[in-house]
Amino acid sequence: MKWKRRHILDIDDWSREEIEGVLETTGAMVEVLSRPIRKAPPLRGKTVILFFAEASTRTRVSFELAAKALSADTTLITATGSSVEKGETLLDTVRTLEALGGDIIVMRHASSGAPYFVAERTEAAVINAGDGWHAHPTQGLLDAHTLRGALGDLDGKRIVIVGDIVHSRVARSDINTLVPLGARVTLSGPPTLMPAAWRCGALPDGVTYEPDLDRALDGADGVIALRLQKERQESGLLPSLREYRTVWGLTTARVGRMRPNAPVMHPGPMNEGIEIDAAVAHGARSLVETQVTNGVA
């Protein structure tokens, strides 16, 4: 496949061929990363700027290690400790980063659409590392790679995504990656945490909504639990965290409703004891650490 894109902003307009092409390269990078010297030359002489205006552990470190494995120079800028704190605009920050020689800007931002704004105003290539509620395209790619490692071809496989769907960039990017690869996605979670149109049945192709998690999990090929942001309770979208865990938490009994060995995933960071029990998060079916490792590849 010939790569034609300058930026990676979302997966929603990617073809199956493009997704497959990136996942093939992922497989090659897994091999590079297993060598004693984890280096390949493609980005030698290039500078990758990690611009993380919102908190991150997994994504930030994954991108830094990936850029270094591809021989790039890297530098990190976060909202705290940079001139963003002094009120510098996003546009001025990006102009500064470009003037400093950034070839690629990996960007996490709390505002949906911020990477699009930047991509239209810079010569650098922009990679969206998560913007607001909108998209987290590389999470979609690493989740698809992880599921294919466990299940093989995803054609016809049914994956449950459970939790706070409406605020989840991970849910949107997982749907936009898994469905073109042939998977079916069942969403589950409180109706108050579902986009209104989806709750009312206007769902994307390949996606269904089943509010009863036990029914959603029956015979499923895998499950992805989403992080519950505890402030949702304060904003009145949930009665209590204890009730959430009772109705939508991934327990050992619940994961037993899926097919034998169906994997359990979570993008992290996890609230153990709320959306996922510790025994499930660290149990035999869990691929949470594999997801983290695959994020670099």
Binding site for ligand CP (CB under 6 A): 56-59, 130, 139, 267-269
The distance of closest approach from Cβ of residue 140 to ligand CP in the complex, given in angstroms and rounded to an integer, is 11
Closer residue to ligand CP (CB): 174 or 277: 174
Nearest distance, CB of residue 204 and ligand CP, angstroms: 22
Which lies closer to ligand CP via its Cβ, residue 189 or residue 267?
267
Q: Cβ of 217: how many Cβ atoms within 10 Å?
A: 24
Question: Which amino acid appears at position 147 of this protein?
Answer: L
Give, as one character, the DSSP assignment of residue 193: G
The minimum distance between CB 130 and ligand CP, in angstroms, equals 5
Distance CA 297, CA 288 (A): 15
Of 152, 221, 210, the C-alpha closest to 181 is 152
Cα separation, 204 vs 135, in Å, equals 15
Q: Please give the Cα distance from 54 to 8 (Å, whole number).
A: 18
Number of CB atoms found within 10 A of residue 4's CB: 6
Residue number with CB closer to ligand CP (88 or 133): 133
Chain residue at closest Cβ approach to ligand CP? 59
Q: DSSP 3-state assignment of 15?
A: coil
38 vs 58, which CB is nearer to ligand CP? 58
Compare residues 180 and 267 and give the one whose CB is closer to ligand CP: 267
Nearer Cβ to ligand CP (55/253): 55
Q: How far is the CB of 99 from ligand CP (least distance, A)?
A: 27
The first and second tokens of residue 183, run together, are 């998977």
Other residues' Cβ atoms within 10 Å of the Cβ of residue 275? 24
- Smallest gap, in angstroms, from Cβ of residue 291 to ligand CP? 8
DSSP string, 237-253: S-S-HHHHHHHH-B-HH
**Of 198, 217, 219, 220, residue with least CA distance to 209:** 198
Shortest CB 59 distance to ligand CP, Å: 3
